[in-house]
Each structure stands twice: as structure tokens, then as C-alpha cells.
Structure 1
């Protein structure tokens, strides 16, 4: 709209300039023609009747109209410039020998277009037409363009604003299709619709198809998880019954290990499903609510403080109050607990774990433990990747940090590992 206003303003100014130059040229040409016709008549009078008749005719013409009127002005003089007849006070700087033309002063404040001619050996004549009225004509033209141009620019601005609002409304329909693809029928292509209507309908249809695929994927994943959990649960129950029958100690130990392995498989399966669900819902704002991160993290830290005390760790937290975010509290809690679990697992007893939350929001969970090797830092968030510090942990699956990053991406945030010389520092930010 601003570009249209600027373009229309430039167009009005260009048209005014062209009109101004055309009108000025026409007025000057008219004055020149009038002067030439007047000189031709006076030359003919001089040739036919001599100087006395010429003086008489010039005197008559000057006397017909006041000297300050919009009339011809004359000066008949000898070669020395001494006036003989006419109302121009002094000979202008025009060369009569070449019939020179130019703008001269007439009176105290007037100007005129003049031509000088040589009539005889010691006689020259200059005839002028005042052009003061040209200024009034040009002012009228400028005023007309100013008024008309203002109206034109305002109309362009109004029409541009109407067009912009209409385009904004129609783009809003596309955005609505992205926010609520289930309303596909509301975005059907109109019979006489244009490209934007067609784009709206296609966007809604594509999003609905994507939603259907995600629903089918979710149902398949849940069904697969159910089919896997059921036999694993049955197997775990059989192992438990076998343990209750009092087998030999070596057999009981193996049965307990098998049960632990089953629980680890179920946990891994659930983590994989959670990662997939978080990634598929990345950027999806549905289901998000206002979450008080300050209160949520305070509860988690308060809960973990007991465990930290038992394991000989120092857990401290600094939380700015009132840090709010749009999200799912259950998932955000899992993100925080996964990082805290890693810290309590790998930081030796006596180590310090510090949780800091500031507005942004920005959450930092840092420790002074052994840290993560530089070679592992680029892959620590990969699924199933376990760094050298965790190789001896048979219970780990390598999915905790992968799930934490997937949850962060689901909420439009970034989870990264700071480059620290000692310990590790995980940062969650926008």
C-alpha cells in the first residue's frame, strides 16, 4: 500500500512537471508570436510612411491602455539608445542587428518577452509583451494538480487499504486452515474463486491428509506397543511365579536379571514412542496450556533434594518467580527429570548440581561432575547413543537426552549442551 501511495505521488509530480513545462512553453510561444506579428506591422508602417507615422502609431498604441496593463510595450530609439517613442525607459541588452529575443524588465517589477530589430541606419525598435500573467496561470495549474493529486493519492491509499485488508482476511483463512485443518469443508474451493481460494483449499486438504496419516501412525504405534507389552507382561508374571517357587540362588539371580531386562525393554519402548510422538507434534500448538515453570521446577527440585542428600550430592536451585510458558506440564517435567537423573547418576558423591531458571524462559542445569567428552558432545542427543562415561551402566538405554530434546522441539525450544571446561551444563531456551 505504501509503495502504491509513493508511486501515485511520483506519478502526480511527474505529470505536474510535464504540464508545467508544456504550459510555460505554450505561453512563451504565444507571447513570441504576438511580438513577431506586432513588429511585422510596425516595420510595414515604417517602410510605407516613415518615422513620423511610426512614432504616431506607437504613441497611439501606448495611449490606448495604461502602461502597467497586459499590453505591448515599445521603445523606438537611435543607435545610441536615445528614446524617440514608446514607454520602455531604457534600451535593453538585446542586439537589434541579429533580431535578438529575451526577457527584459518593464517598469519596476514586471517582466516581458521582447525582440529587438534594426529599422534603419540610425533607428532601432524593441517590442515586448508582459508575461506576468504566466505566473498566475502556472500557479493555477499547480493548485489544480495539488488538489487533484491529493484526492488521487487518497483514493489510491483507500483502495490500497481495502485491498490489503481483503488480502489479510484471505491469508487469515489460510492460517486458519493450518490452525484447524479439521474444518476442511469450510475451505473448499469456491466456484469462481481465484488462486488464493485454491491455495486455501489445497492447504486445508493437505493438512487434513497429514493429520489422518499421523492419526494412523499413532494408532499403529499404540497397537504395536500394546502387542509388545502384553507378551512381555505375561513373561514377567511367569518369571515372578518361578521366583516364588524358591529356585536355586543362581537360578533366582538369573530370573531377577531377566525381569530387569524386561522392564528395561518396556521402558525403552515407551521412550521411543514418546520421542516419536513429540517429534510428530513439533510446532503443533494444540493441547498446550499456560504452565508455571517456576512452580513446576521448584516441586521437582524439592522432590529430588531428598534423593540428592541420600546420594551425597548438593542440589541447589535459583528460580525467578512467575516464569510462564505455553506447554504440556507432564512433558516438561519429564524433560527436567531426565537431565537431573543423568546428573545424579554420573556426578560422583559430593558433587554439586545447580538449577537456574530465568525469564525468557531459559533453564540451565549444570554440575561439576566428570562432564561429557568433547567427542561425545555432538552426539549426546542421538537416540541409543551412550558416551564413554555411561558404557558401564547396563540399565541405561541412551534415550533420556534424545527424549528431552524431542520434548524441547515440541515446545518450540532448543536444548543444547554448553561448552564447559568442567562438568556439564544443559541449557533450555527459546
Structure 2
């Protein structure tokens, strides 16, 4: 059970798509894999270091024990006994697999060398030790010591087994460094994808401006975790908001209709009273009263139109492709006489066959509002220009006095009127124009003109910087 959002009503903005590509869940999966790799490398370095230290200590202990035993043999049996024992030992391999190598030199001349060959760079006077290479390239751990003033002994141990151990250790950690971070990344990515889908659904739910109380698409509100709680609270909030907005629209529409109907009845009565013979003063009063009624009903009609357009903002259903070029030419022809009567000139530059998915009546009203504004405020002797380019990119402007910079930022707000506005204006014309544009997925903005005033209507995504 749950609240659902129709997928076809999800209005995902470019900003949300960009945020999805920078998802914190994806970054979390990548960072988790990086932390796993770092931990494995640190563990490898620690393990390798401890193992290497242990191997070196074992080799050093083995060599030192051997030297101590050989020193005892030399002390008790002399040089000949030592040489015989060295030859025997050189043919043996220890239980650990470490083959021993020996070199005995007297006054720098080798008596017994074997595989060691040239004496390594280890000073017997200092009893130096370390890793060296034999003549055949085998790596050994060796120690040189002086048995007497003219006799030096070198004992070495191979550590091929230990080297293989370190190699296997490196190979195991290399496999682990590949598999474990990859597994962490895949598992984390899968979990992150699920979380990202849930959070994206919540964001779409909250960002949509056309939500209603209809059944909503599953956003996993039944999962008992933090995101599930957020989803439940968000869904409940949107449901309450949608219900409140629907109730508000219903009430305002009903109030507007209820007010409009008696006003029309009152206008009819006043018209009938005007038709009766009577005093001119009463006749003029009735005429003014009817004008007031027409202004009020016009205000209500504009508010209803704005509300209807805003309620269907971004909803492209029910729109048909119209020839915007033909519509503009027809409207320009209809207004030609009014423009001449106002002492203005008309200039048109309308590209042919520019189309738009729209409600033709609403687009016609949008264009008419902008032309009416120009006729009202541009003044005699000015030029009204209408241009249309593919896109569509529509410009309606004039070279009149323009709009006061102090009110430019709020010209599309309801009831916003300039100081020189006509007395019978309501300040709703541009607000309605903006609502119609948003209904059709268009942008409208005021161009920066040195002289006059130009309104631009363009498809969303076009460069509309003011």
C-alpha cells in the first residue's frame, strides 16, 4: 500500500539530472572501493614488512649459529679440521631448505670458495652481514667474520623458499586488491542505485508543480529505513499540498464564477434601465456602472485564465501543432487599423512555416496582450515591430519610452502596474502572458533595449539571458 506518482507526470529538470549524475550514493560506492583498496595495500605493506623482518631475523640467527659452531671447531681442531668440516657442510641442505655456502680466506687468498667466488663487500673485521649475490647470481644472506689475524670466514644461506613465500604473498594480495574493491564497488553500486532511485523519486515528487491526489508511482515507502521514512513524509506532504491546492483552486474558481454571474445579471438590468427614457444624469451613471462591471468581469476572466494556465504548466497533452507564422500574420492584419489609429507604424519580419505545439486561442491571446500593451504605452509616432524566427523565437517590441528600470524586475507579477498605466488596467496582462508561456513550455522575458520595450518569447533552453 502506498502513495504513487504517475511516471508521465514526472517533470525532471536539467538541474535534477545533473545532481543524479553526481549522486552521493555513487560517490559513496566509489569511496568504499577506494578505502577497501587502500586498506588491502596497507595490510600488504604491513604483512610484507613483518614477514621480511622475520625472514631476515631467521637467516641472521641461522648464520650466527653456524659461525659460532665453526669458530669452536677452529679453536679446538685448527685450520685443517675447519676446512674439512666446511667441505662436508657445503654439500648439505638444512631442514628449512636453506643451502649453506662457505668461503675461507687466509690473508686475502681463498682457501675454500665454492659457489661464492669473489669475496663480497663485507668486512670481516667488522663482522658485517647482509644480502649479497653469489657468482652464479643466487641471492644469499651472508656474514663475514675474522677467526684470527690472518684467517677470515664467510657463511651464507640461500633463502629461495622465503623469496617464493614473499612472491606468493604478493600474488595473493594482488588478487585481493583486484577482487575485493571490485566486489565492494559492485555491491555498493547496486545498493547506491537502489537508494538513488528512491531518492530521485522523492525529489521528482517534491519538484513537480502539477501533482494531484491521484495514485502515485511506487517510491518504496514501505521500506522501514531512513529513506522510507523520508518517502512516507514526503508523499504525505505532497498529498496534503495537492489536496489543499485542489481545494483552493476549486474555491477560487467557484467564487469567481459565483461573483461573475450576478455581475452579468446586474449588467443586464442596468442595460435595460438605460433603454428606458430618463434623466441624462441617471443615464450617465448607469453607463459608468456598466463600465465598472465590465472591468470587474474582465479582471475575473483574467484571473481564471491565469489559474487555468498555471494549473496546466508543462502539461503538453491536448496541444496541437499550429502554424505560428500564419497566426501572427492574421493577428497583424487585424491590428493594422488600430495601430494606424494610434498614430503608430507596423513593421513585421515573420519567417514562414514556423510551427508550435499549442492551444491556438491561448497563443493568440498572448500575442494580442503584448500588441495591446505596445499600442497603449508606446505613443504616437513610434513603430511596433513583430519578428518571428524558427525555434520559435518571437519578438514583439516598440521604440517608445520603454519601461521604468525600477519596475522591470517585477513586470510579470500580478497587479504590477507602472506609474503611467491606463486607469482601466488591472496589471494582469503580462502575468497572463507568462502563465500561457509556461503552459506551453516557453520562456518570456524583457530584452535590454536602449530605447523602447521588446518582449521575447523563445523555447526553453534557448539563450534567454536578460
The number of aligned residues is: 418
Q: Summarize the Cα distance change of 1:217–1:25 in structure 2 as closer, same or farther, 3 Å threshold.
A: same
Specify the alignment match of 1:403 in structure 2. 432
CA distance, structure 2, for counterparts of residue 250 and residue 311 of structure 1: 34
Give the match for residue 11 of structure 2: none
Q: Does 1:262 align with 2:289?
A: no
Shift in Å, 1:316: 1.4
Question: Taking structure 1 as reference, are residues 183 and 172 closer, same or farther at Cα in structure 2, changes over 3 Å only?
Answer: farther
Q: Which residue of 2 aligns with 1:154?
A: 182
Q: Which has the higher contact order (CA 8 A, sep 6+)?
A: 2
Q: Which residue does the alignment assign to 2:109?
A: 82
Greater mean deviation of Cα atoms: 8-17 or 311-320: 311-320
Q: 1:356 aligned to 2:385? A: no
Q: How much does 1:209 deviate? A: 1.0
CA RMSD of aligned residues (A): 3.2
Counterpart-to-counterpart distance in 2, 1:385 and 1:222: 22
Residue matched to 2:257: 226
Q: Deviations over 1:78-110 (max 9, x none)?
A: 2x4211223222222222223211222211422
Q: 2:269 aligns with which of 218, 238, 257?
A: 238
Q: For residues 308 and 86 of structure 1, what CA distance do their matches in structure 2 show? A: 117
- Distance (whole Å) between structure 2 residues aligned to residue 233 and residue 318 of structure 1: 40
1:129-163 per-residue CA deviation (whole Å, 9 max, x = no partner) reads 12345443332222222223323233223312321
Of the three residues 326, 330, 351, the one matched with 1:302 is: 330
Which residue is 1:424 aligned to? 453
TM-score (norm 2): 0.79
Relative to structure 1, the CA distance from residue 288 to residue 343 in structure 2 (aligned partners, 3 Å threshold; closer, same or farther) is farther
Alignment CA distance shift 1:57-1:202 (3 Å): same
Is the contact between residue 278 and residue 406 of structure 1 (CA under 8 Å) also seen in structure 2?
yes
Q: TM-score, normalised by structure 1?
A: 0.85
Give the CA deviation at 1:70. 5.2
Partner SS state of residue 456, structure 2: strand
Distance 1:42 1:161, change over 3 A: same
Show structure 1 runs of 5+ residues with no match. none
Among 45, 54, 66, which residue is 1:38 paired with?
66
Unmatched runs of 5 consecutive residues or more in structure 2: 1-28, 461-466
| Residue 53 of structure 1: how far off its partner (Å) | 0.5
Could you tell which deviates more after superposition, 165-174 or 236-245?
A: 165-174
Deviation of 1:254 (Å) = 4.0
In the alignment, structure 1 residue 117 sits paired with structure 2 residue 149? no
> Which residue in 2 is equivalent to 1:200?
231
Q: Determine the structure 1 residue equivalent to 2:242.
A: 211
What CA distance in whole angstroms lies between the structure 1 residues aligned with 2:414 and 2:136?
96
Distance 1:42-1:413 versus aligned 2 partners, 3 A rule = farther
- Preserved contact between residue 324 and residue 354 of structure 2 (Cα < 8 Å): no
CA drift at 1:221 = 1.0
Q: Distance in 1 between matches of 2:328 and 2:273?
A: 38
Note closer, same or farther for the CA distance 1:412–1:324 as it changes in structure 2 (3 Å cut).
closer
